[in-house]
């Protein structure tokens, strides 16, 4: 879904970065900490979930113009506007995104989202989750 950020950049859209509730996997956290950030600078815990912290109504890594860790952003940010609808039990394009109709929900992306949700659930319970392919996949849960 490399087209994702092209659409966002084309429209100058940062809506998904505003008041984000993006969950963070263990690998997301390790990757961001590897950039020199401490846990308390970017992680907030809500209902047992680790999520990106907000500052002044937007993701702590967004400076008002762009994401300052774009190449290292959480997997969920990379996959957005695909989210997992818990009520329906399946991935879908988030209608919150004003440009969601310009994206395609492919079987490959759907599988990545489902794997991420499973992994986040396992991590929340204190376990570890091996996806078997070396990838860590993320998504913002609705």
* Predicted local distance difference test score (pLDDT) of residue 5: 53
What is the domain partition of the chain in residue ranges? Answer: 3-141
Burial class (CB in 10 A: 0-12, 13-18, 19+), 48: exposed
Contacts of 14 (CB under 8 A, 6+ apart): 8, 58, 62
pTM: 0.82
pLDDT digits (tens, 9 = 90+) for 44-72: 999 889 999 999 999 999 998 889 999 99
* Average pLDDT, 10 consecutive residues per value, the chain (142 residues): 66 92 96 97 93 96 92 94 94 95 94 94 74 40 40
């Amino acid at each position: 879904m490399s087209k994702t950020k092209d659409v966002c950049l084309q429209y100058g859209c940062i809506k998904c970065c505003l008041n984000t509730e993006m969950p963070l996997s263990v690998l997301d956290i390790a990757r961001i900490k590897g950039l020199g950030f401490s846990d308390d600078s970017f992680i907030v815990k809500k209902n047992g979930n680790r999520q990106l912290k907000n500052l002044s109504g937007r993701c702590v890594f967004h400076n008002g113009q762009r994401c300052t860790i774009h190449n290292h952003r959480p997997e969920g940010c990379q996959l957005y506007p695909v989210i997992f609808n818990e009520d329906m039990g399946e991935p879908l394009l988030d209608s919150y995104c004003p440009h969601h109709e310009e994206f395609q929900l492919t079987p490959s992306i759907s599988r990545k989202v489902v794997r991420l949700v499973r992994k986040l659930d396992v991590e929340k319970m204190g376990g570890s989750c091996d996806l078997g392919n070396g990838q860590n996949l993320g998504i913002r849960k609705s």
